[in-house]
Amino acid sequence: MKKLYEKSELTFALVCIVIYCVLQSLANPLNKIIGIEGLANAIFNVVLTVILFCFIKKNGLFKRYGLCKTSIPARQFLYYVPLIILVTRNLWNGVTVNFSLTDTVCYITYMLCVGFVEEVLFRGFLFKAMAKDNVKMAIVISSVTFGLGHLLHLINGSDVELVANLFQVVGAIAFGFLFVLIFHRGGSLIPCIITHSVINASSAFANETGLTVEKRIIMNLILFVIIAVYTFILSRILPKNQHLNENGVANK
């Protein structure tokens, strides 16, 4: 891993993303064979989480990939109140128990790890690799790639409906822009990891009953407004070039 990383950070990022997508695709059929929802996903993602964390720690890359506190006061992030609102998005149509206790534990473990893995891969590895040449392009590509990656749910055995998946893709792209701004301007990926992980985990209790296309549209419009307004405010009040690279030089 280290040799590939040293040779090409971008290639390293893309290889990691492909491996992640392949493992996710293999996990869903395995879950059905085992009979426990999310068990294979949980195992794969716990292993990936450990590997990525150890790689970053071993190579002293905590600051580069935002696994550190931000130096910016919480008030400049509006005390993260919009993020707190956004983490409730899966519960806006009510709360229900979708799985058995065992399935729920596996599913939540899987989803919590996904929050870490995807943030490190897309906002960490991919964004940082591309930002060296063009920050604006890196923001767009890392966000859109993250969103489009959710289309895999249509073919990997997740049993996600087309309409629901399209809303998921668009929502992921919106979150991608917000998260990459928080990371790039604030220098910390931790708020993104926490928000992403909680949103994922709360889907275990999402109530899909009576959730029509019209309701999905309304809920997503509310979500987009919150994200758009918060992103705009942060882009105005957060200092530029806050995120330093591993050499202590501000990214352009």
What is the reported pLDDT for 242? Answer: 52
Q: What are the domain boundaries of the chain? A: 2-237
The Cα–Cα gap between 193 and 178 comes to 12
What number is the average pLDDT over the span 178-183?
97
The Cα–Cα gap between 197 and 56 comes to 19
Return the closest-CA partner of residue 77 out of 196, 194, 180, 230. Answer: 230
Is a pLDDT exceeding 70 seen at residue 85? yes
Return the closest-CA partner of residue 52 out of 30, 76, 23, 88. Answer: 23
Is a pLDDT exceeding 80 seen at residue 165? no
Is a pLDDT exceeding 80 seen at residue 248? no
The Cα–Cα gap between 245 and 248 comes to 5
Q: Which run of H or of E encompasses 97? A: none
Q: How far is CA 62 from the centre of its chain?
A: 17
Q: Going by C-beta distance under 8 Å and a sequence separation of 6 or more, which residues neighbour residue 43? A: 27
Is a pLDDT exceeding 60 seen at residue 244? no
Q: Where residue 193 falls among pLDDT bands split at 50, 70, 90? A: very high
What number is the average pLDDT over the span 6-20?
96
Count the alpha carbons within 13 Å of 203 in the hemisphere toward its beta carbon.
19
Q: Going by C-beta distance under 8 Å and a sequence separation of 6 or more, which residues neighbour residue 90? A: 199, 202, 203, 205, 206
What number is the average pLDDT over the span 29-39?
89
pTM of the entire predicted model: 0.91
Average of per-residue pLDDT values in the chain: 90
Q: Going by C-beta distance under 8 Å and a sequence separation of 6 or more, which residues neighbour residue 194? A: 115
What number is the average pLDDT over the span 221-231?
96
User: Who has greater pLDDT, 58 or 211?
Assistant: 58
What number is the average pLDDT over the span 16-44?
91
Q: Where residue 250 falls among pLDDT bands split at 50, 70, 90? A: very low
Return the closest-CA partner of residue 234 out of 223, 222, 226. Answer: 226
**Maximum mean pLDDT: which of 103-117, 149-163, 202-216:** 103-117
What is the reported pLDDT for 146? Answer: 93
Is a pLDDT exceeding 60 seen at residue 252? no
